[in-house]
Amino acid sequence: MLTHRELANAIRMLSVDAVQRANSGHPGMPMGMADIAEVLWNDFLHHNPNNPKWPNRDRFLLSNGHGSMLQYALLHLSGYDLSIDDLKNFRQLHSKTPGHPEVDQTPGVETTTGPLGQGIANAVGMAIAERTLGAQFNRDNFNLIDHFTYVFAGDGCLMEGISHEVCSLAGTLGLGKLIVFWDDNHISIDGNVVGWFTDNTPMRFESYGWQVIRSVDGHNADAIRVAIETAQQELTKPTLICCHTTIGFGSPHKANTASAHGSPLGDEEVAAARKQLNWPYEPFEIPVEINRAFDARDRGEKLEEKWKTLFAQYRQNHPAAAKELERRWNQQLPNGFEDSFNAIIQEFSQDNTKLATRQSSQQVLEKIAPMLPELLGGSADLTGSNLTNWSGTQAITHDQADGNYIHYGVREFGMSAIMNGMTLYGSFIPYGGTFLVFYTYAANAVRMAALMKKRVIFIYSHDSIGLGEDGPTHQPIEQAAALRMTPNISTWRPCDLVETAVAWKAAIERCDGPTALLLSRQGLPAQKRTRAQTDLIRRGGYILRDVESPEYILIATGSEVSLAMAAAEALKDHRIRVVSMPSPDIFLQQDAAYRESVLPVAVTQRVAIEMGVTAYWRSWVGTLGYVIGLDHFGGSAPAKDLFEELGFTVKHVIEVIDRVRK
């Protein structure tokens, strides 16, 4: 009979062989965590390799993603569509086994990890989603949504500040089906962590409200099994299992050293490890009996079939709920949603109220949220400023899972990564707010949403020096440009209620990437449009004011659109076209004919106006044009005074137009 150690050694040696063949990678973590992984995957994990998207599967996240070969070895051995040739192709161009796990690239990978700490943050989002979806749809005798979220995390993950943010919140919310394995091996790339990581980690997590299982021998299968069983029994608190492991376990000369962390072991050491682990097989060779022991396909099919039977009974007893749940699983919007939203946009087009676009956003939410129960909102302690709530807002708390809003506290980075986890889980459209300037706290999580091409809606209010007296620490200058230059993020900066509504519609309908909505603190006038102009907003840029044979083009976004319109009105004797550009990335996706119709190449006298860095707009205005913007920080003063001081006035726009003409 095969022992747990023999099974774990298959994981170890597949990882070692793949890293050695690639001459690149991290063998130490897979060797150290193999015993834990073997017990979890073979004895506890509910999953179906034949259907990696089974809704009620347990989620497994490798937060210490540099150890990706551990996950690839597990997926291969368990029976996922990941062949031995795929493992041999580790870290190679177009392979299914990239250097760090990438969702949608490898069957069975739940999220993209690598930036340490974000995997555990994604897991918190998934655990929230599991609990909330279950609260919304489970019925007596029908626990359709009922599974665990497991995380592997290393010392590096727990050093990252984001782990403090999200684990504190997880404890506060009582996410009892979240189980984290801490790979406590005392080694990072720079060596023994005693010089830079001496936290009392168990006490830290206990202070968060977690169950902590201390001092588990990460190489003892029985101890690991008892720890997991104990974790599963505590459903009111998340659990941290502290696993003492040896990095590079089985390597005679490199185990427990930094040299096992991020480099291949080398041919001689690989041979020595084979001998020490009593693994007499050739590279990538797995004995039939070991393959058979790991194969989870039959077991997974039975688990899913049992669940399908339960769901069929659920459908008979609760047909409306079953239909709604399937709609959300399939990322389908409600029937008639688009028509209803278009009607809302037309209704808003009749409203001439002066509003800050953050207020406009709240008005949109008030209209659409009752139609979209999958909307799951929140704010990083700025609800009253971001205006991300609405009249039907119900906060999710420790005792209230069936809500639609999360008070994230002052955790911009954590909030963003948690939202990534929610959208990865499925059945929810998460949105969350903070000030635009604090986007830079969260930038890497926003980047990960873009990299994974997942629908997350980032609400960024107080989008310019227009926030006034809070001063330059709170006034964004470079943030809008940074968002626009990040691949696969769609960024909208609307000028009024109608543009805000169109931006929200685009964000909700976009399933292949995140959207950022940049919203003003100060009130903005409603612009007058024809029905045709309103229909063109969705194209990202359109002509708001036109003349025959324009001499000049003013391009503006957000609050500066009204400034451009006022300047054009003041210069009636000039032939000035005003282009509102709420979403440059969407405009650039339009066909060449449309782009030419809005910004004719022949009209070279152009001025772009935006309260941010000028570099982004220089290609839009060309060498003969001019950008009215800011290449320095703002100041603390009432917005009106700042606009005067920094040149965001009709007078200055006129002066610039004259300069361009000359």
- Active-site residue numbers? 412
Taking the C-alpha atoms of 318, 324, 327 and 332 in order, what is their torsion angle to the nearest 10 degrees?
170
Alpha carbon distance 164, 117 (integer Å): 9
CB atoms within 10 A of CB 195: 9
Residue 217 contacts residue 223 (beta carbons within 8 Å): yes
User: How many other CB atoms sit within 10 Å of the CB of residue 200?
Assistant: 9
49, 297 contact by CB (below 8 A):
yes
Which amino acid, residue 377?
G
DSSP H or E segment with residue 441: helix 439-452
User: In the block, which residue shows the tokens 């290449």?
Assistant: 631
Is there a contact between 465 and 645 (Cβ–Cβ < 8 Å)?
no
Helix, coil or strand: residue 16 = helix
Crossing angle for the helix pair 439-452 and 118-137, to the nearest 10 degrees: 70
Q: How far apart are CA 607 and CA 466, in angstroms?
A: 20
Distance CA 474, CA 520 (A): 13
Cα distances (Å, whole numbers) of residue 397 to 174, 375, 406, 431:
8, 17, 8, 17
Cβ(246)–Cβ(219) under 8 Å? yes
Residue spans of beta strands (DSSP E) within 581-635: 605-609, 626-628
Listed residue (164, 181, 180, 156) closest to 36, CA to CA: 181
User: DSSP for 292-317?
Assistant: HHH--HHHHHHHHHHHHHHHHHHHHH
Residue 91 carries which DSSP code? T
Q: Which residues contact 543 (CB under 8 A, 6 or more apart)?
A: 533, 536, 577, 578, 579, 598
User: For every residue of 535-596, which 3-state class applies, written as one string?
Assistant: HHHHHCCEEEECCCCCCEEEEECCCHHHHHHHHHHHCCCCCEEEEECCCHHHHHCCCHHHHH
Query: Can you tell me the distance from the alpha carbon of 274 to that of 72, in angstroms, rounded to the nearest whole number?
Result: 20
